[in-house]
Each structure stands twice: as structure tokens, then as C-alpha cells.
Amino acid sequence: MGHVIVVDLGFGDAGKGTVVDHLCAASPVGAVVRFNGGAQAAHNVVAADGRHHTFAQFGSGTFTPGVRTHLSRFMLVDPLALAAEADHLRTAGVPDALDRLTVDRDALLTTPYHRAANRARESARGADRHGSCGMGIGETASYALAHDDAPRAGDCLSPARLRRRLTAVRDWYRAAFPQGEDVPDVEACADAFTAFAERVAIVGGEHLHDLLRAGNVVFEGAQGVLLDEWHGFHPYTTWSTTTFANAETLLAEAGESAYRLGVLRAYATRHGPGPFVTEDPVLTADLPDRHNGTGRWQGAFRVGHLDAVALRYALDAAGGADGLAVTHLDVAGARPDLRACVAYEMDGGRVERLPAGPPDLDRQAALTRRLLRARPVYAPLGRPVETIEGLLRTPVVLRSHGPASGDKFPGHLRTPIDRGGPRDQDLDQRRGSPGGGRCVSPSAASRSSRRSPRPSRS
């Protein structure tokens, strides 16, 4: 199979978890590497026997015995949430999830103080909320930009240094939000984080290189390209690079490359506020998602029609994809009223492609204002896979007709991700030429040098 990077091309919730689960179940995979975001991720996986888990920090291949999880230096690691997730996995029949986990020592730590700051800041926005998971991701990233002593995973191996750094975060939170919610004292937090370090393997960057040399690795992204910190529709975005860039940086450091797999639903969804040109209240009412409801911090789960304009933009911003995985085709098959947005009516004209460029938050905010006024131009969805390939000029290499790995089928082209499956002989001939023109996307390292502190967004 080779290495694969899995990235959501929408606003998240497209089915990255079920795609990663399938790749790990259908092929020999040694590890899943998480390369952005943190405990706010919610990647739902349903096993063939009905077991369900919402993967946040563990890789979504964890139901497959032996598949490891590595949290790279680009992850924001929440030890408390990680322990709770491991407990749920244990009840779901996976007792060794922590034994299969490694954490890069340079990964930032999300603390209860970041989480409380996130919720206080978002609440203060009132009706102008940006949308958030309430897990402290944005505060973790913004604090690290302003403070060189932001706590990292490696600090958990040095209790004295850990306490100093946790104290600094707690004092920052109390000064910034004197009316904020109560938080644990530093000693309790430090004890929990130290116990985390005693339970899991905290490693250096060379560990990932060893994993890449040892076998196939799946890089699992979080959220979606349309929420990207630089390319999303500001300010309704996340403090995270959601494109292929972080994964490709890690691969390049090891002298490796990977197949770039973009994931999308056969229709569109998003959580919370922000532009959503194809939103349809009828679909929102008719297509509730069992594992994606309205949340206190995320807001409402919204549903709309396939948006080729937004997806073209996501592909441009991400530097293209080698192939696409289309999920929820079972829903599309039962809804002949689904449509495809082929253009926008915007600014007095017809727009089929949105401009994607170098990082510029002012430009992105202006684009958001334009999108809030845009109206969709529709065509029938027809045969979803053929329509998507025609509109996006990228081959569909994986079709998902349900939540379990057995509900996945290859596309009509043989590609590097195809691997012998029980119900399709085409999977036996798995090597081919991927389609979809790709270009080089900016590295995460080059983008991070242009960051500047700004209010937390997620």
C-alpha cells in the first residue's frame, strides 16, 4: 500500500476515521500518525461487530490489533483526555491502546487552564461566537506563540520543570480571565501529567523515521481544509494546519513520500457558525447524523448539498490530491433530491473557483464576507462518483457505503491504496497510476514562521 495521508477536504466530519480504519483493516499497516489538532477531533469508527468509538487522539486504526498510534510534534496532546479515551477503548475491547502509543517529546501539552481559557473567551463573544470544540486547542497554540516555556510532552519527564511551566499557564489564565471557571491546582495537574509520562512512551523525532522504515504508515488528519488556520474562512477556523503540509514535512524529514487521499461526503456538512453556501434546512432536518449532533461549544450540525466550488478551493489550498475517498454514498443513493453546486452567484457574477493564495488572514476574512452573500448554482447530483470526478478532476479511489470497513469499495482505477479485500477482485491488483494533478504545498515550517499571536478561534 505504501504510506497514505488522509485529509478532510470539507469542514470536518467527512469520515476520516472510517477511512483510516478501513486502510488499517484491509492492508498491513504498522502505525497511524496524528499530525495536527488534538483532543477536539471526533473520528467515529464502527467495527463489524457493532462496537463504536469516537477517536480523538488515538489513531482510528486502533481497533485493528497491532496498529500503533504516534502523536507527532504537530499534535496538541491532552493527557487527561487521552486517559479518558483509553478507558473507553478498554470497555470497547481494546485493552492495550496505551501500550501501542508513542508521543513526540516536542508535542505541546493542552492543560485544563487552556481549556478553561478557550471556553471563557468563546463565551465572551456572545452572539459573535466563532465556533469551538471547547477543548483548548486554540489557546494551546496561541499561548505557545507568545511563551517560549509552553509545556510540552517531554516536560512530563522532568517534574520540577513541568510544575514551573504549569504554574505559568495557570497564572496566565487567572490574570486573563479572573471570572473564569475553577481549574485544578498545579500539583494535581502535575501529578496526572507525570503519571501519563510513566505510562506511555515519550520519544524523539527519530522514532517516526523508524516507523516509516518498518512498514506502511497512515497519516490521519483532523478537522478539514476549509477550517485551516490560514486557508479557511476566517475567523470561523481553527488554530491548526489541516492540509497535507504537516504530514509532508514529517515525511520529507525521513526522506519518504506518501499517497495524498482527500476525503469528502457525497453531500456537505459543517458544525457551528460560518459560511455554508449550500446549506439546506430540509436536509438538516432529514439527515441527522447519529454521531454528530449539536454540541454546547460546537453549535448546530448543519447539512447541505455537495459544493464543488468549496471542494475545488480546498484542493487548490491543499496542493491537490492523488485520489478521493467519498463517504455516505448510501445516503446519496437514498436521496434523489441531492444536488451539486457547480458555481456561486457572487458579487454580481458567476464564480466557479475561489482564489487560494499565500497566508493572509485579511484576505481570508474578506473572502468570508463574500461567501456569506453567495448563492449556489445547482445541477443534479446524478451518479455521485462520476459527478465528483468530473467536477473535481480527481479520481475517486475509495467508495464508502456505510460506517464499517466492509462497506468500503475501490474506485474504478487501481491505485496504490487498493489492497486485497474479501468482496472485490480488483483489490488484488493494487498498484497503478494515481490521477489528480498535484502541486507542492508550502511546508508547515515555512508557514509557522509567518504566524503572529491573535485571538483564539477554536
Q: What is the mean pLDDT of the chain?
A: 88
By the 8 A CB rule, do 70 and 250 touch? no
Bond from prior residue into 184 cis (ω within 30 degrees of 0): no
Residue with cell 464576507: 369
- For the segment 363-394, what is each residue's pLDDT rounded down to a tens digit? 999 999 999 999 999 999 999 999 999 999 99
Q: What is the pTM of this model?
A: 0.89
Q: Which residue did the predictor score with more confidence, 292 or 267?
A: 267
- Rounded CA-CA distance 173/113 in Å is 6
Quick one: which H or E segment has residue 283?
helix 281-286
Task: Give yes or no: 231 in active site.
Answer: no
Phi then psi for residue 391, to 5 deg, are -75, -35
**Any residues with CB less than 8 A from the CB of 168 and at least 6 apart, and which?**
147, 149
- For the segment 137-188, what is each residue's pLDDT rounded down to a tens digit? 989 999 999 999 999 999 999 999 999 999 999 999 999 999 889 999 999 9
- Rounded CA-CA distance 359/361 in Å is 7
Q: What is the pLDDT of residue 291?
A: 67
- For the segment 239-257, what is each residue's pLDDT rounded down to a tens digit? 899 999 999 999 999 999 9
Q: What is the pLDDT of residue 1?
A: 83
Catalytic option among 8, 13, 104, 228: 13
Task: Give yes or no: 43 in active site.
Answer: yes
**Any residues with CB less than 8 A from the CB of 197 and at least 6 apart, and which?**
153, 156, 157
Mean per-residue pLDDT, 395-422: 79
Q: Which amino acid is at 367?
A: L
Query: How many Cα atoms sit within 13 Å of 84 on the Cβ side?
Result: 7
Q: What is the pLDDT of residue 296?
A: 58
3-class secondary-structure state, position 43: strand
- Rounded CA-CA distance 108/96 in Å is 24
Q: What is the pLDDT of residue 424?
A: 33
- For the segment 142-152, what is each residue's pLDDT rounded down to a tens digit? 999 999 999 99
Per-residue pLDDT band for 351 (boundaries 50, 70, 90) equals very high
Per-residue pLDDT band for 422 (boundaries 50, 70, 90) equals very low
Question: What does 298-367 look like in DSSP terms, one character per residue?
Answer: TB-EEEE-EEHHHHHHHHHHHT--SEEEEE-HHHHHH-TT-EEEEEEEETTEEES-----SS-HHHHHHH
Buried b (16+ CB within 10 A) or exposed e, 140-150: bbbbbeeeeeb
Closest-CA residue to 248 (of 217, 224, 227, 214) = 217
Q: Which residue did the predictor score with more confidence, 197 or 292?
A: 197
Question: 309-313, 335-339, 429-433 — which is least confidently predicted?
Answer: 429-433
Longest dimension (CA), the chain: 63
Q: What is the pLDDT of residue 122?
A: 81
Q: Which residue did the predictor score with more confidence, 259 or 272?
A: 259
**Cα dist from 321 to 9, 244, 255, 345, whole Å:** 10, 9, 20, 27
Closest-CA residue to 289 (of 320, 250, 328) = 328
Catalytic option among 8, 21, 22, 43: 43
Mean per-residue pLDDT, 81-99: 97
